[in-house]
Structure 1
Amino acid sequence: MGVAVVLTCVMCGRALRPAERGRPPRYCSRACQARAYRARVSERPTAGARAKPRPTAENAQVVQDQALIVRAAVALADREGLATLSMRRIAADLGVAVMSLYRYVGSREELNDLMVDSVFGERPLPEPGPDGWRAKLELSAREEWALHRAHPWLSQLVAVTTRPPVAPGLMAYTDWRMRALAGQGLDFSTLVKIAIMIGTYVQSAAVPLAHEARAARGARHTRRQWAAARREAFDRTISANRLPMVSEFGDEAFEASEPENIFEFGLHRMLDGIAALIDAV
């Protein structure tokens, strides 16, 4: 009996489905095929070049240090948002050839994962943390909220998705929350749901931060200035659509609608709900 040969992608090592005819496949996807092509192109000598110039110490550090590439990406996103983020921009900021980055960061998706992991690594949750499950969960939510305040673009990579980034730093928050609830009589499935619910709530509450940062960069005015400029249109809309409660909106309502206050209100209501669930066990 012969031994079955399992073909694997030459770039990522994933198993390949044998071809029905023709040459056996070498790549699992167009993305891996493109990575292989970029790697070959980056290693070709320039036409007419006599010798490959020796890299400077600074450039050598860049291509050898993935963390430096990720830090540059995070800094660029902090300054200008995700819309301007690209491998070409990062390479320009670092002063290196763009293709040299692909040796250490294979794709934009991988870069996104590394950025999320780096950001969550800035605020690892303490061990063992405060006493009591409620204090622990509140702390974890506030720490994650602080990350979104520092990096408003973060929610665009982690919020409203069932395919979260492959980021150990982010996963550590989920694991920590589940351990905070261990011993409360809840089954494992419920622990998973609660841990993910908290992360989803914080991330969703943080989505306006990204929009506000983008609007502030473009229009260069605050949310309050924006609201004041649209006051006349706001009043016309209310009077034309019979909105009695919304018509009462003033400074107090405006303050209540700030992302920070929405986060605070929702956090405590969510923790109250978890407490009621535990009490019912």
Structure 2
Amino acid sequence: MTEPKPRSGRGRPRTITRERVADAGIGLGLAQLSVVGVAAALGVTQMALYKRVGGLEELRSLVAEEAFLRWPLPDPEEDVDLGAYLHRFSLSLWRLVHRHAGIAPYLLRRDLITDTMLQHTQEHQAQVARRFGLTVAQSSQLVFTVAYHCCAIADTSRSEAPEGESIEPLHEFGLKALIAGAIALTGEDG
């Protein structure tokens, strides 16, 4: 006796996946994101999209989370010292903020950071702690301080660098000074 074959689904195949919504949203950009725009990019009705995403704020959160999770965090194993790593990390984060206009609040505000983003951040901080012989608290303090200030500066200076990839020399100097000071203070707090 043979088992019956599963029946194929009726109608159109499911087109509104999290990945496709995120791709469409990232393509539009957080600053111009709308339910209408994403629905049009997916070729579905707004109502169909609302069945998958509860509204504009949920859509923005989904797109910001996916942009963040797709960002290739620099590997701390590639650097010989903590200062060099944090500098490379800050430049990578700078590029993320410039590539995704509107993402900074989702990286800076506790009420907008998703649980998945927080978990990803904590895993990264633990990796930095292991690599450079820090406590998790020290690593968290350093990575948070650098990330917070880098995001804020990158977001407010977007108009200065329309290409979005280069960092102004004075901003880079400021980040280096912040990193050096934060490392020095972390040793005192230890």
**Shorter-chain TM-score: what band?**
0.7 to 0.9
Pick one of 150, 157, 166 that aligns with 2:99. 150
Residue in 2 that maps onto 1:201: 149
Structure 1 residue 204: deviation in Å? 0.3
Asked whether the equivalents of residues 68 and 117 of structure 2 are also in contact (C-alpha less than 8 Å), the reply is: yes
Paired position in structure 1 for 2:26: 74
Q: CA deviation at 1:174?
A: 4.7
Return the alpha-carbon distance in structure 1 between the equivalents of residues 76 and 134 of structure 2. Answer: 22
TM-score (norm 1): 0.52
SS at match of 1:163: coil
Show the 5 A alignment for 1:1-281.
54-55=11-12, 60-63=13-16, 65-77=17-29, 82=31, 84-125=32-73, 126=75, 128-159=77-108, 161-166=109-114, 168=116, 171-182=119-130, 188-210=136-158, 212=159, 260-280=168-188, 281=190
Return the letter of the residue paired with 2:185.
Answer: L
- Structure 1: distance between partners of 2:61 and 2:120: 14
Offset at 1:178? 4.4
Unaligned runs of 5+ in 1: 1-52, 217-221, 223-257
Aligned mates of 1:207, 1:127 — CA distance in 2 = 24
How far residue 86 of structure 1 moved from its aligned partner, in angstroms, is 1.6
TM superposition shift of 1:194: 2.4
C-alpha separation in 1, matches of 2:131 and 2:34: 46
Q: Deviations over 1:167-202 (max 9, x none)?
A: 635653453234323486765444333222122111
For the residues of structure 2 that align with 1:209 and 1:279, how far apart are their CA atoms?
31
Instruction: Confirm or deny: 8 A CA contact 2:33 2:60 kept in the other structure.
Output: no
Amino acid at match of 2:168: E
Higher Cα Rg: structure 1 or 2?
1
TM-score (norm 2): 0.73
Q: 1:83-126, CA deviations, whole angstroms, 9 ceiling, x for partnerless residues?
A: x4221221122221111112322333332232122212333223
Aligned length: 176
Q: Which runs of 5+ in 2 are unaligned?
A: 1-9
Measure the CA separation in 2 of the matches of 1:152 and 1:69.
Answer: 17
SS at match of 1:124: coil
> Measured at CA, do residues 128 and 192 of structure 1 come closer, stay the same or move farther in structure 2, by a change above 3 Å?
same
Write the distance in 2 (CA, Å) between the matches of 1:270 and 1:127.
Answer: 19
Q: Secondary structure at the match of 1:102?
A: helix
Looking at both structures, which has the greater relative contact order when contacts are Cα pairs under 8 Å and sequence separation is at least 6?
A: 2
8 Å CA contact 1:133, 1:181 repeated in 2: no
1:92 counterpart letter in structure 2: A
* Higher share in helix: 2
Cα 1:184/1:70, change in 2 over 3 Å: closer
